Structure 1
Amino acid sequence: MLRRLIRCPGPGPGPAPARWLRPGSLPASARSVVTAVPLAHAEFGSDRDRPPLVLLHGLFGNRGNFQTVAKALVQRGAGKVLTLDARNHGSSPHSPLMTYEAMSLDVQQLLSRLGITKCILLGHSMGGKTAMTLALQQPGLVERLISVDISPAITTPVSEFSAYISAMKSVKIPDGVSRSAARQMADDQLRPVVQHPELRQFLLTNLVEVEGRCVWRVNLEAISHHLSDIMNFPVFHKPYPGPALFLGGSSSRYISSQDYPEIQRLFPRADVQYIEGAGHIVHQDKFEEFITAVVKFLALP
């Protein structure tokens, strides 16, 4: 069941130009040091008379998290769908910089390389904030936006990610053990901090074997160093004028009523909706309801 909370009015006159930097970040003269990395991606479906849909995963995830979603949306008429690995995740390169300005630039470079001049963005959690950043920076590039269970607000109060990162860093796996044995050992070591089995299994998808050693494929150092940036959101003054959907889980705390004013300020044409019974990973908890909500917003046949 889908529960709609607010429907924002159409956009009014925009105020001052957007700022790309969050408080305390590098000055404008240093923006040139932010360089894009070539993102790994996968494509599903084929071009139709609509912009491609780009799916952006959350923290500790990878493009595989949205593979089933991508295939389902292609079957429902979405045309071409792209899934991406964010920098420091999946098969994309590692980089010491992990900010939304940098991750937005990565997506822009990929779209440019693929010859895409207009797209639809759907992002979950960290991917949602990346999508919002790109839409606010380059509104002409984004036809419409879907942010899954995240808002343009500070998420530190509801986040346990710092503890998860510390637990992952402390995992010790002897060289030469089998992949299955390594996963079991890592699972046992994570359990005292990451108590939910499903969450541990999600984090363990990042445990890979490289030259006989088990390592984390996510760049924990970069993520740890920039965790405050990931939990925060850049400062913008000019709103995104296109349609937007903030699709949360009713059992999650990542889109609260306290976030509505900022959503309305930056995304004046936004709908805020909740899927009943879904937690933070909405597309996993209530897959059919999630697909139905996305299809309706995209006005697919």
Structure 2
Amino acid sequence: MLLYRQSRNYYPFQRLSKRQLSLAYTKHEPATPEPGHAPLVIMHGLFGSKQNNRSISKALARDLKTPVYAVDLRNHGDSPHAPTHNYSAMADDVEEFISAHSLTVPTLIGHSMGAKVAMTVALRSPKLLGAMVSVDNAPVDANLKSNFHAYAQGMREIEEAGIKKQGEADMILKQYEDALPIRQFLLTNLIRSPDGGEYHLRIPIKTLSASLDHMGDFPFRDPDEARYDGPALIIRGTKSHYVADDVLPLIGRFFPRFDLKDIDCGHWVISERPEEFRKAVVEFLQEKESKDA
């Protein structure tokens, strides 16, 4: 398979099979790696990319002295596009990524959409992972926040407007989102055409818009049929509604060895409280290593 390389970023263009896509990623390596430490794979949320996890990936690689692979899930960032966008398909891609890079029992970390991908992989391929970290999402069917439908509508307008300045895109998004940090996050999907003319989205916004209802789903219903007995950390924002207290018993049935960490923030845990998030993950994995030793 041919890869285009630029610095530490790898952009695969060949599709592996009818089911699996070869995911783009950035590998963050520690200055002083220590053998025997399991690698990490970290996954972004809806409309995000590996770029969002660059700083935290570097910090985790440094602290845990192991490589951290920040991936772009299908239809996001630099990864290939496909008409199917659901958790089973994304889990296919991630399992193939782990196999293709010969990662031995990695820790899978995911935020929001990425959290459900991590939980899906853990439940259907439990021996593949050494640990799992889910950030502000739960293994349940739930309605997706209406904000995401609004974001999708705003980005579709941007795509159709033929804009030539980023400020024009921001003005469109202001109709749908007041918070500048969230607009800036969404606009990381905006790129200029090679001829230097109009801006366009690097994500297939029509595909993602059509798949929004699937983003509230979860592939597993019965904890008696699928369970992950490995170490699991559930991190939730206390000002977010995605991991309610009444769903904790179900989480315990799917993930009987789970630890819960509450962080005083909203849904965007990693960007709102990066230091608290870093500390929670490092302590969780260091404790796991001490028990395994």
Normalising by the residue count of structure 2, what TM-score does the alignment of the two structures yield? 0.85
Structure 1 position 54 matched with structure 2 position 41? yes
1:31-89 Cα deviation digits (max 9, x unpaired): xx961011001111156202211001100000011111111111112411100000000
Match of 1:29 in 2: none
Name which of structure 1's ranges 125-134 and 221-230 shifts more when overlaid on structure 2.
221-230
Matched residues in 2 for 1:157 and 1:133: separation? 18
Contact 1:158/1:254 (8 A) holds in 2: no
More contact order relative to length (CA 8 Å, sep ≥ 6): 1
Structure 1 position 115 matched with structure 2 position 99? no
Q: Among the aligned pairs, what percent are the same residue?
A: 37
Matched residues in 1 for 2:172 and 2:216: separation? 25
Q: In structure 2, which of residues 206, 210, 216 is the aligned counterpart of residue 221 of structure 1?
A: 206
Structure 1 consecutive aligned stretches of length 4 or more whose deviation exceeds 6 Å: none
- Give the superposition deviation at 1:106: 0.5
Name which of structure 1's ranges 116-125 and 156-165 shifts more when overlaid on structure 2.
156-165
Structure 1 position 244 matched with structure 2 position 229? no
Matched residues in 1 for 2:100 and 2:34: separation? 16
Q: Residue 217 of structure 2 aligns to which amino acid in structure 1? A: N
- Give the superposition deviation at 1:254: 1.4
Structure 1 position 41 matched with structure 2 position 25? yes
Q: Residue 271 of structure 2 aligns to which amino acid in structure 1? A: Q
| Counterpart secondary structure, 1:152 | coil
Q: 1:273 to 1:126 in 2, by over 3 A?
A: same
Q: 1:115 to 1:221 in 2, by over 3 A?
A: same
Contact 1:238/1:266 (8 A) holds in 2: yes
Matched residues in 2 for 1:165 and 1:157: separation? 12
Match of 1:297 in 2: 284
Normalising by the residue count of structure 1, what TM-score does the alignment of the two structures yield? 0.83
**May I ask how many residue pairs the two structures share in their alignment?**
263
Matched residues in 1 for 2:167 and 2:261: separation? 38
Q: 1:60 to 1:265 in 2, by over 3 A?
A: same
Q: Residue 58 of structure 2 aligns to which amino acid in structure 1? A: K
Contact 1:158/1:253 (8 A) holds in 2: no
Mapping of residues 145-160 of structure 1, within 5 Å: 145-156=132-143, 158-160=145-147
1:230-259 Cα deviation digits (max 9, x unpaired): 111112432111111110111211111122
* Unmatched runs of 5 consecutive residues or more in structure 1: 1-32
